A and B are shown apart, each in its own frame.
Chain A
Amino acid sequence: MVGWAVQETTSFVSRFVEGLTAPKGVVDFLVLSFMLFAVGVLGVLSRRNVLIIFMSIELILNAANLNFIAFTRHWQAMGRISENMGHIFVIFIIVVAAAEAVIGLGILIALYRNRQTVAIDEINLLKW
C-alpha cells in the first residue's frame, strides 16, 4: 500500500518534473491559458468584492494574451508566419486593460463614496 503510494508519488513527481523540463508545445500553453481563464471566470462569478472581480477579469484577459503569444510562437515554428503578430495584440490588450482598470476603479471609488460598500450583491438597483 505504502509502496504503491510511494511508487505512484515518485512516478507522478518524475513525470511532473519531466513535464516541466520537456520542451513545451502549443497545447501546453493552451492548457495553462484555459486554467487561467477558468480561474478568472470562477472568480468573476463567485466573489462579492468588486476589486477581486476586477482582478479576475485581468486573469481572463491574460489568458487571452497567453493564447495570442502561444499561437504566434506556434505558427512561427510551423513557418507559417514570420512577424510577431500576436504580440501586437497583447500590447493593445494590456493598454486597454489598464485604461479599463482606471475607469473601473474610478467608478468603484465613486460608488464607494455613495454607498459605503463594494460588495457586488448589494449593488443591484439597475433592474426593472
Chain B
Amino acid sequence: MLKLIWLIPALPLLSAIVLGIFGRTLRLSEKTISWIACGSVFLSLVLSIGAVYEFATSYWPAHGRPYLSREAGGFPHAFTWVPGGEARLTWGPEAGTTVPLRIEWSYQLDQLSAVMILVVTFVGFWIHVFSIGYMRGDGGFYRFFAQMNLFMFMMLVLVMSSNFLMMFVGWEGVGLCSYLLIGYYFHWNYAAYASKKAFIVNRVGDFGFLLAMFAIFSLFGTLQFTEVMELAKSDAYLPQEAFGMWGLASWIALGLFIGATGKSAQIPLYVWLPDAMAGPTPVSAFIHAATMVTAGVYMVTRTNVIFQKSPTMMFVIALVGVVTAVWAASMGFTQTDIKKVLAYSTISQLGYMFLACGVGAFAAGIFHLYTHAFFKALMFLGAGSVIIALHHEMDMRRMGGLARVMPITYRTFLAGWLAICGIPLFSGFFSKDEILWRTFSTEVIPGGRWLWLLGFLGAGMTAFYMTRLVALTFWGEPRFVVAGGSGALHEHGAHPGHEVRESPRVMTIPLIVLAVGATVSGFIGWPESLGGTNRFEKWLEPVIWHRAPEQGALVSAGAHAQAHSAMEYVLMLASIALAAGVMYGCAILYLRRRDRLEAIVRAIRPLYVASANKYWVDEFYEGVFVRGLALGLSRLSWRVDARGVDGGVNGSAWMTVFWSKVSGWFDLYVVDFIVNAIGAMMRLFSTVFRMAQTGFAQNYALVITTGLFLLTALYLILSW
C-alpha cells in the first residue's frame, strides 16, 4: 500500500478533472456525479488507511524514518519537478557555496502526515456524502463536486508534500478551491465579495510563507522537510535563541507564522473566515472548519524545529493563539447567523491549537486539530441539516424547538456541543484539557499561567456561545415560519414546523458517523494522568523535536515525564466545573429567564454592540488597509503615473517634437543651404565656361587649328 500513496491525491484529482470537464457536457446525472466524487474519495480513504497501517506496522519499525515516495521504484514515485540551476547560499556555515536548485515531487508519509491524511480523507468522505443530500437539485452540482475533489487533491498534496514548495502548491491550491467554493453562489454579490476577501487576505499570509521559504533555501540549500529539519537541529545552521532574542530563526519562524495566520484565520488575518460562510455549508464544514484552516497548525508542527529554536516566536504564537481564542469567542456571543457562530468558534479553536504549538505541545495542538475536525465538521453539517430543513434559513432568531422535529440532527449535534464544551469522555475534553494543562505547566516560554488563565476564560466562553447556539436552535419554542409557498405561509402560520422534517438518510448517516467520531476520537489521547497512555502523543513523538536538556535551559515539553501534580487534577476539575456551570447558566438564561438575559445585555450594552459588530475590525481594515493603504497607494501611484510617468512620456514626446523641429530647421537652412550654395556656384561658373560651347562645329575646328598652330609654334620656339 505504501507504494500506492501517490494514488491518494491522484484519485480525487482525476475525479475533479472528469467532473470539471465532462460534468456539464455529458450532462451527468447527480447520481453518477455522486458516485464518481464520493467513490474517488472513498478509495483515497481506503488507500490512506492501508498506507498508514503498513507504515505503522512494518515500515517504521524496520526503517525508523519517514517514508518518502522517492525511495520506492515504479510509477511516479518521485520526479524532479523543478530542475533549477545553481543557487548560492547566503547564510549559515555553507554561505557562499552553490548548490543545485532541484526540487522533487514526492510524497512523504510520517506520523504527522498520517494523522492528516486520515482526518482529511475520513472527514472529507463523509462530508462528500452529506453534500449529496445538501446540494440536491442545485444547478452547479457537478461544479461543486469537481471543486470539492480538487480541494481534496490540493489538501492531500499539502499534507503529503515532502518539501516546502510542494506544500506551497497545496497551500495555494486549497486557497484557490476555498475561493471557488466560497464564491460558489457567485451570482450573489456577498458571496463574490467574501471569496475575494478570503483570497486577498490569504495572499498577505502567503507572502510571509514565501519569504520564509526563500530564507530556508538560502540557509539550508534544500527544501526537503526531512533534510531541512535535520540541518535545523544543529546550532551551526540555526543558532538556538534565548527568550527575548530575535535572530534568524525568529525571522524564518515569523514568516512561516504569518503564513499560518492567514490560512488558519488568526489575529490579525482572521477576518476572512466569518465571511467565508457565504459558501455552501458542507464547504464550511470541510474547508473552513476541518481541514484547510488547520493547515497553519500542521505547517507549524511540521517545522517545529525552527519554531523551537526561537522561544520569542513561540511566545508570539501562544499569545496570538490564546488572544484569538478569546477574541473570536467574544464575537461568537452575539452573532445571530448560526454559521457565523460556528465560524467564530472555529477561529477560537484554531487559537487553542496555536496556543498548544506556542507552548511547545505540538502533539496536543495536532490532537486538538484531529478532534476538532470531527466535532466541528459535525456541527457544521448539523447546521447544514437545519438550514436545509428550514429552507435556507440561517438566522437563529427564527429557529428554536428543532429538537423535536429533527431528532437525529439534534442528538448528533449534542455530541459535538458536549465535545467542544469539554465535557469529559467527549473528544474535545481530552484535547482541550491537554492544551490547557500544557499551557499552565509550560517551561518553553514564560507566563504560562497567564496564558492558561486566558485559555481557561476562553473555554468558558466557548461553553457559553455553543450552549446559546444549541438553545436558540434546538430548544425552546419554535420561532420559524416555513412554508412550501407564499400562500401557505399564512395558512400554516399558526402551526410552525409543519413543513420542517428531518433530513434524508444521506445526510443523517454522515452526522451519525461524525458524532461517533466526536465522541470517541478522544480516547486515543487519553492522558496518562487519568490512567491512559496518550497513544496519540506517543505516535507523534518522532515528528516533534526534543532538544536535549543539557543543551540549554529549554526543556522539550513533549518528552519529559511530567510529574502529575495535584495541580493537573485541580485544573481539570476547574475546567469541567466552569464548562458545566456556564452551560447550565446559559441554558437557564436563554430558556427560562429571558428577562435576566435582557437585563444583562442592557447592562453591558456597549460591549454587546461592539461584539455584535465584530469590534468594527472589518470596518477598521476597510478604512485603514483597503481604503487607506490600498486605495491611498493606488491613488498615489495613479498620481505618480499621471504626473510623473505620463509627464515623462509627454515630456519626452515634446522633446522629440522639439528636436525634430530643430533638426528640420537645421536641415532646411544649413544643410540644404550648403548644397544649394554649391549648386549655385556651379551654375555661376558654368555660365562663364559654357559660352565656349557654341554648338558651331567650325568654332571647335578653329580652336583645334589654333591650338595646333600654337603648339607647333611653341615647338619651334623651344627647339630653336
A17 in the interface, Cβ–Cβ < 8 Å? no
Query: Nearest Cβ in chain A — how far from B708, in angstroms?
Result: 9
**Complex CA–CA separation, A46 to B702 (angstroms):** 9
- Residue A116 interfacial (CB < 8 Å): no
C-beta contact mask, A42-55 vs B, less than 8 Å → 1, else 0? 00111000000000
Partner of B696, one of A41, A44, A124: A124
- With an 8 A cutoff between CB atoms, is B531 at the interface? no
Q: Which of B690, B694, B697, B705 contacts A41 (CB 8 A)?
A: B705
Q: In the complex, which residues 688-708 of chain B have their Cβ closer than 8 Å to any Cβ of chain A?
A: 690, 693-698, 701-702, 705
CB of A120 within 8 A of chain B? Answer: yes
**A127 near B695: Cβ-Cβ < 8 Å:** yes
Partner of A124, one of B686, B694, B701, B702: B694
**B695→A44 contact, CB < 8 A:** no
With a CB–CB cut-off of 8 A, which chain B residues contact A46? 698
Q: Of all chain A residues, which has the CB nearest B697?
A: A120
Which residues on the B side are within 8 Å of A123 (C-beta)?
A: 697
Chain B residue, CB-CB nearest to A123: B697
Smallest distance from the beta carbon of B79 to chain A beta carbons, Å? 88
Q: Which residue of chain B has the shortest Cβ distance to A47 in the bound complex? A: B698
Q: Is the CB of A125 within 8 A of B701?
A: no
Complex: how many Å from CA A94 to CA B12?
115
Smallest CB–CB gap between B705 and chain A, Å?
Answer: 6
Known: A41-B705, A45-B705. A127 touches B694 (CB 8 A): yes
Least Cβ–Cβ distance between B409 and chain A, in angstroms = 117
Report whether B693 and A45 are in contact in the complex, using a CB–CB cutoff of 8 Å.
no
B698 touches A45 (CB 8 A): yes
**How long is the Cα–Cα vector from A46 to B693 in the complex, in angstroms?**
19
Chain B nearest CB: distance from A5 CB in Å? 36
B194 CB, min distance to chain A CBs, angstroms? 93
A44 touches B693 (CB 8 A): no
The smallest C-beta distance from B450 to any residue of chain A, in angstroms, reads: 115
Bound Cα distance from A127 to B700, whole angstroms: 12
Complex contact B693–A127 (CB within 8 A): yes
Decide if the interface of chain B is mainly helix, strand, loop or mixed: helix
Q: Is A126 an interface residue (CB 8 A)?
A: yes
Per-position binary interface string of chain A over residues 96-128, scored 1 when its CB falls under 8 Å from any chain B CB and 0 otherwise: 000000000000000000000000110111111
B705 touches A124 (CB 8 A): no
- A41-B705, A45-B701, A45-B705 known; A128+B696 contact, CB < 8 A: no
CA distance A123 to B686 in the complex (A): 23
B698 A120 Cβ-Cβ under 8 A: yes
With A41-B705, A45-B705 as contacts: A128 and B693 at CB distance below 8 Å: yes
Nearest chain A residue, comparing its CB with the CB of B691: A128
- Which B residue's beta carbon lies closest to that of A124? B695
CB distance from A41 to the nearest CB of B (A): 6
Residue among B686, B694, B697 with most chain A CB within 10 A: B697
User: Complex: how many Å from CA A92 to CA B693?
Assistant: 34
Report how far A124 CA is from B695 CA in the complex, Å.
4
Assembled-state Cα–Cα distance A80/B694 (Å): 48
Provide the bound-state CA to CA distance between A46 and B278, in Å.
Answer: 121
Chain B residues with Cβ below 8 Å from A128 are 686, 690, 693
Chain A residues contacting B686 (CB-CB under 8 Å) are: 128
Interface pair A44/B698, CB less than 8 Å apart: yes
Query: How many angstroms between the C-alpha atoms of A128 and B687 in the bound complex?
Result: 10
The closest CB in chain A to the CB of B706 belongs to: A45
What distance in Å separates the Cβ of B120 from its nearest Cβ neighbour in chain A? 103
Tell me if A121 and B698 are in contact (CB < 8 A).
yes
CA distance A121 to B698 in the complex (A): 8
Q: Which residues of B contact A41 (CB under 8 A)?
A: 705
Residues of A within 8 A of B705 (CB): 41, 44-45
Contact A45 B695 (CB under 8 A): no
Query: Are B702 and A45 in touch, CB under 8 angstroms?
Result: yes
The CB with the most chain B CB atoms within 10 A, among A45, A120, A125, A126, is that of A45
Shortest CB distance B81–A (Å): 85
CA gap between A46 and B698 in the complex, in Å:
8
> In the complex, what residue of chain A is closest to B708 when comparing beta carbons?
A41
Closest to B709 in A: A41
Residue on B nearest A57 in the bound complex, by CB = B701
Say how far B265's CB is from chain A's closest CB, in angstroms.
Answer: 99
The chain B residue sitting closest to A41, CB to CB, is B705
Complex Cα–Cα for A29 and B621 (A):
130
Q: Determine the distance from Cα of A121 to Cα of B694 in the docked complex, in whole angstroms.
A: 10
B415 to chain A, nearest CB (A): 120
> What separation, in Å, do the CA atoms of A94 and B698 have in the docked complex?
24
Q: Cβ of A124: which chain B residues have Cβ within 8 Å of it?
A: 694-697
Which residue of chain B has the shortest Cβ distance to A126 in the bound complex? Answer: B695
Residue-by-residue, is B140-171 near A (CB-CB < 8 Å gives 1, otherwise 0)? Answer: 00000000000000000000000000000000
Which residue from chain B places its CB closest to the CB of A125 in the assembled complex? B695
In this complex, what residue of B is CB-closest to A44?
B701
B687 to chain A, nearest CB (A): 9
Bound-complex Cα distance A123 to B696 (A): 7
Kindly state the separation between the CA atoms of A123 and B690 in the bound complex, as whole angstroms. 18
Q: How far in angstroms is the closest Cβ of chain B from A51?
A: 14
How distant is the Cα of A107 from the Cα of B378 in the complex, in angstroms?
122
CA distance in complex: A46, B705 (Å): 12
Min distance, Cβ A64 to any Cβ of chain B, angstroms: 13
Interface membership of chain B positions 331-365, coded 1 if the CB is closer than 8 angstroms to chain A and 0 otherwise:
00000000000000000000000000000000000
Contact flags B2-46 to A (C-beta < 8 A → 1, else 0):
000000000000000000000000000000000000000000000
- Determine how close the nearest CB of chain B comes to the CB of A49; give it in whole angstroms: 12
Q: How far, in whole Å, are A118 and B414 apart by their CA atoms in the complex?
A: 137
Select the residue from B686, B698, B702 with max chain A CB neighbours within 10 A.
B698
* Residues of chain B with a CB closer than 8 A to A125's CB: 695
Q: How far is the CB of B240 from chain A (nearest CB, A)?
A: 104
Within 8 A of A (CB), among B646-705: 686, 690, 693-698, 701-702, 705
Distance A44 CA – B699 CA, assembled complex (angstroms): 10
Q: A44 to B708, alpha carbons, bound, how many Å?
A: 14
A120 cross-chain contacts in B, Cβ below 8 A: 696-698
Chain B residues whose CB sits within 8 angstroms of the CB of A121 once the complex forms: 696, 698
A33 to B693, CA, bound (A): 32
Q: How far is the CB of A23 from chain B (nearest CB, A)?
A: 28
Residues from chain A with Cβ under 8 Å of B690 in the complex: 127-128
A45 CA to B690 CA, complexed, in Å: 21
Give the docked Cα–Cα distance between A126 and B543 (Å): 111
Which positions 36-86 of chain A face chain B at CB distance < 8 Å? Answer: 41, 44-46
Q: Which of chain B's residues 246-292 have a Cβ closer than 8 Å to chain A? A: none
Give the chain A neighbours of B702 by CB distance below 8 A: 45
Q: Which of chain A's residues has its CB closest to B702's CB? A: A45
Alpha-carbon distance A80/B696, docked complex (angstroms)? 46
Distance in angstroms between the alpha carbons of A128 and B688 in the assembled complex = 12
Knowing that A121-B696, A126-B695, A128-B690 touch, tell me 18 more A-B residue pairs with CB under 8 angstroms.
A41-B705, A44-B701, A45-B698, A45-B701, A45-B702, A45-B705, A46-B698, A120-B697, A121-B698, A123-B697, A124-B696, A124-B697, A125-B695, A127-B690, A127-B693, A127-B694, A127-B695, A128-B693
The 4 closest A-B pairs by CB, nearest first: A124-B695, A127-B695, A128-B690, A127-B693
What are 12 sample pairs from A and B whose C-beta atoms fall under 8 A apart?
Answer: A46-B698, A120-B696, A120-B698, A121-B696, A121-B698, A123-B697, A124-B694, A124-B696, A124-B697, A125-B695, A127-B694, A127-B695
Question: Which A residues fall within an 8 A CB radius of B?
Answer: 41, 44-46, 120-121, 123-128
